[in-house]
Every structure is written in C-alpha cells, then in structure tokens.
Amino acid sequence: MHKLWLGLWIIAALSVNTLLADYKSMSEGHALFKQCTGCHGQAGERHALGKSLVINQMTKEQIIMSIEGYVDGTYGRSMKALMKGQVARLSKEQIEDIATYVASLNDNKLKSLVVPEAQKKKKSPPRKVTKYIPDSFKIKIKTYRYANQVTAVKAMVKHDSYTQREAEKRGVKQYYLTKMIFKEDEETILEQKCTPYLSTNGLIKFKYQSHGGKRLSLQVYNNMNKHAQHSVVIKERSATKEVNVLDINLKKLKIRSANDEAIRAYFGDVTLIPSDKIQLTGPEIAANGVWVPIDLRSSIKAKRVTLFANEEDAKLQMVVQWKLSSASYVDFSVRIKLLDYVTYGSTVSAVVEGVDGKFYVTHIKVIVGLGGVEG
C-alpha cells in the first residue's frame, strides 16, 4: 500500500510539473505570437497575404519545421525572404513556445492554460473621451533658435490621413492634409505638399536659417477645404547647432537604381542624377507599415524636394513634397505609410531639385514586418 501511494504521489507531481511547463511555454508563445497576428489573424485563422497555410491547422512539429526552414532558407516560396527576416532572431526555446501556442489554438484543453491579458489586469473605469472631428485640426509646435541662428522645428497636426482604399475599408470619408505652410513672422520658410500616404497625425521636423523673427506660424489645409493656423514664440538657446553634415561613410553606400522611369513620368523628361550627397535613411524592417520613420538630409542647395514610395498595389506614389525658401536646409524627418507588402521590400526614393535646375536622386528599401499594415 505504501508503494502504491508513493507511485501515485510521483505521478501527480510529474503531472503538475508538466502542467506548469506547458503553462509557461503557452504564455511565452502567446506573447511572441502577437507580432504575427496582423497577417495570420488573432487565432492563426488567416492565409497570410493570401499565400500561407492556415497555421492553426498545423501540428506543433510542422510549425517548428517550417520556422526552422525559414531560418536556414530551406523552406518557403515567395515569402521566404520576408519570413526569414521575422524569425531569424528567435531562439530554439522561442520557436518551441510559438509552436506550442499556435498548435493549441484549436485545442480547448491547452487554450485554457493561457490566462487572457484582460483577466491579468484590473479593469479601470472607462475614461471620458472627447470625440475627434476630422474636419478640425489640433496643432502642436516646438521651435528653438540657436546662437548661430539655426532654428529647429518640430510640428504635429492631429488629423486623420486615409487613402481611398483605407477609407472604404473603414466605411468613412477620406480625410487627409493637403498643405502645410511655415512662416517666420510674415516670411514663408517652408511649404509642404501632403498626400494620404503620410501617417495620421502628421509629424514634421526640419531646420532653417532664421532672420531673427519673433514667432513661427503654421497654416494647415485639408482635402475638405478646411484650414487652421497656429503660432508660437521662437525660444532662444545659447548653444550652436550644426546642420547638413553628412556621415563620412555615406559615399561608400551603393546608390540603387529603381523607380527612375516612374519618377521621370512625374517630373517630365528630366535626367535623374544618382547622388551621394543625399542621405536617405529608414528602418531596414519597419514594425508598422502605417508609421514608418524616414529621415532625409542633403548638402545640395535645393528649391524642391520630393519623397516617393511604392505604395498600394506596389505602385510608385508621391508621398510628400517640400518647397524650400532660401533659408531652408534639406534636413527633414517625417513618418510615412507603406501600405502593401512587397516581397523584397518597398522602395523609397528621394529627389532633390537643385537651384541649378538639376534633379538628384537616391533610393533605399524598407521591408514591412509581419502585421505591419494594420492601423
């Protein structure tokens, strides 16, 4: 009898340890799988991009085999390059955790091991939210003028930005900013032409050489013929600020040739000159396709700068265009949308129209990560 009870105790202990191990693996897998839900669905029920298998129908062993195959390049077809970029950083333990969780999505016994996030957190009372009306604008501006008269500006306009396809998907009207005009006192410093391919709540950072004015104002317009204006006092700082000092290694970068034919169609029959005097940077892999940070700097004296990207249906679209005054530097930071997956990345192109009448160009590629197009 004593041996029987001892045996039962050992079996019970092993069952508890197994249950705890499964719970830990499931919880870790649940957290890791969140980055995959944009394509594969919350329950792994979708054909990702219309191409993949429905992963919640796969066994744990099949999921592990496919992920490891993406890592070493032995598995996958058209999405192989994109998937490798997503899973290459996963450890064996993390692959095991994801496979355990995904394989459980049609297994009620294992699903019960995962404590939903909503149950982990205490419910807080609902907050009173003032509904934002897209016809209106909420403008914020920060600006500092340094001792050498270089003025740095950061401005955000709270306003929806929907392409036609996004608006139809949401069942709403298409709203987006069309123009932003910055002035120091009464002198125009910069004009920005906007499109729906800029991110919602438009953010712009730039620099210019101040003439000593007291206030910086911003006029904004949208596609519904609404407009607004906001101004702030320019704050003084005793330090100096350098601008347009391109990285020394920039000349070593390979200038890619892409999209040139479509760009010429936009500007007319012009000669595009690849230039190492343009610094265009963005993330190699963007976690979110509706919020992709892009920085653009150049030592070329310019009168107009235009940013293009492969957008919906992989077509080249003009995203944003700046008309510069003689005081403006080519030194911009914006956030754009990359709405469609492109197997080998979306091409972002910058065209600088110099005061010499020539058109200079450079290109980079950005891959949108899994789930990146969900807004």
Task: Indicate the Cα dihedral angle 111, 113, 117, 122, nearest 10°.
Answer: 130
Domain assignment present for residue 131? The answer is: no
pLDDT of residue 365: 86
Residues 98 and 174 in one domain: no
Q: Where are the alpha helices (DSSP H) in the chain?
A: 2-33, 37-40, 60-72, 80-87, 92-103, 108-111, 117-120, 164-170, 260-267
Give the pLDDT score at 146. Answer: 95
Residue with tokens 């963007």: 286
Q: Tell me: do 272 and 148 sit in the same domain.
A: yes
Query: Do residues 102 and 29 make contact, with C-beta atoms less than 8 angstroms apart?
Result: yes
* pTM, full prediction: 0.64
Domain limits at 276?
A: 138-368
Identify whether residues 242 and 363 lie together within a single domain: yes
222 and 320 both lie in a single domain: yes
Which residues neighbour 53 within 8 Å (Cβ) at sequence distance 6 or greater?
47
Is 173 within the bounds of a domain? Answer: yes
Q: How far is CA 113 from CA 12, 22, 36, 61, in A?
A: 18, 8, 20, 20
Domain harbouring 318, CATH code: 2.60.40.2470
Q: 203 with 166: CB under 8 angstroms?
A: no
- Specify whether 95 is located in the same domain as 142: no
Which pLDDT belongs to residue 25?
Answer: 62
One domain, residues 218 and 305: yes
The answer to whether residues 370 and 35 touch, using CB atoms and an 8 Å cutoff, is yes
Cβ neighbours of 111 (radius 10 Å): 15
Do residues 142 and 113 share a domain?
no
User: Domain check: are 166 and 241 in the same one?
Assistant: yes
Domain count, the chain: 2
Nearest to 54 by CA among 101, 90, 102, 98: 102
SS3 206: strand
Biggest CA–CA distance in the chain, Å, is 98
**In a shared domain, residues 97 and 229:** no
Tens digit of pLDDT at every position of the chain (375 positions): 555 444 545 444 444 444 445 555 667 767 776 777 767 777 777 776 666 777 777 787 777 777 777 777 767 666 666 777 677 777 888 878 877 877 777 654 444 444 455 444 555 565 554 445 556 789 999 999 999 999 999 999 999 899 888 888 888 889 899 999 999 999 999 999 999 999 988 899 999 999 999 999 999 999 988 999 999 999 999 988 887 666 544 444 444 556 788 898 899 889 999 998 999 999 888 777 888 999 999 999 999 999 999 876 677 889 999 999 999 999 999 999 887 655 557 889 999 999 999 999 999 888 876 544 444
Q: What is the pLDDT of residue 90?
A: 78
Residue 338 belongs to some domain of the structure: yes
CATH number at residue 111: 1.10.760.10
Task: State the pLDDT at residue 51.
Answer: 66
- The torsion angles phi and psi of 360, rounded to 5 degrees, stand at -110, 145
Examine the fold and report which residue of 54, 87, 117 is the final residue of a domain before the chain moves on.
117
Domain annotation covers residue 147? yes
- Asked if residue 123 is part of any domain, the answer here is no
